[in-house]
Structure 1
Amino acid sequence: MAINPQAVVNIAVKAAEDKKAEGIVVLDIREISIIADYFVICSGRSGPHVQAVVENIQEKLAEKGVRALRREGFREGGWVLLDYGDVVIHVFQEAERQFYNLERLWGDAQVVAIPV
């Protein structure tokens, strides 16, 4: 079953919240990029916490029939990227999040209220 990008974002955000992810931000990048419609960015306190957040996001989306096209960085647990096509989810440890600072890099994107 195909669901719209906003539903993917909302499910991912709820799954991240359920695992106590921190600093959850949703960026609407539709007007500034063709790579996706939304970025979901959040943090975990440690590698295992990041992995738990990622696993819960994947599990909750899989329950709706949505599977990641690609997952990168899971083993290391510093920055995990989940590519769902129209939605790209970034789960960081805080040090990596501050270093890469996607919110600044994508500063022209609109920060959207949750739920989308």
Structure 2
Amino acid sequence: MTQPMDVAREAALAADAKKATDIVALDVRGLSDVADAIVVCTAANSRLASSVVDEVEDRLRSRFGLSALSVTGENDGPWVLADFGDVLVHVFSPEGRDYYRIERLWGDAPAIDVAFED
């Protein structure tokens, strides 16, 4: 059975592979009725944001057989949201990340340990 924390780790690693920055994975079990984990990252521009989401989708499909239930905000918005059921992946523009500060909403959520490669 696929564990949400494993999915979140793989999503974070996929975002990192595509040069997303400020990647944070949070365990929101017990804090959210919508998801068990969220991954938040920043992409320098909309083209990179799209590339990050594509890489996350490819990796999660390959490793866990998961497809995004929906992807919203891909048309030059400040925020792309990919919904994988128990795991939500948020890809922000730098301005969107600063404006929404989504991690502050989950200030009580513990970070998920992700072993990023140097």
TM value normalised by structure 1: 0.90
Judge which range, 74-83 or 24-33, deviates more: 74-83
Percent of residue pairs identical: 39
Q: How far apart, CA to CA, are the structure 2 residues paired with 1:25 and 1:70? A: 21
Query: Structure 1's 112 and 63: CA in aligned 2 closer, same or farther, altered over 3 A?
Result: closer
Deviations 1:24-47 (A, max 9, x none): 001111121111110100001111
Give the corresponding residue for 1:70: 70
- For structure 2, which runs of at least 5 residues remain unmatched after alignment? none
Which amino acid is 2:76 matched to?
E
Give the corresponding residue for 1:27: 26
Pairwise CA distance, 1:78 = 2.2
Pairwise CA distance, 1:77 = 4.5
Q: CA RMSD in A?
A: 1.3
TM value normalised by structure 2: 0.89
User: Aligned residues, how many?
Assistant: 114
Query: Structure 1's 17 and 80: CA in aligned 2 closer, same or farther, altered over 3 A?
Result: same
CA contact (8 A) 1:26 1:40 kept: yes
- For structure 1, which runs of at least 5 residues remain unmatched after alignment? none
CA contact (8 A) 1:48 1:77 kept: no
Q: Which structure features the higher share of strand residues?
A: 1
Give the corresponding residue for 2:58: 59
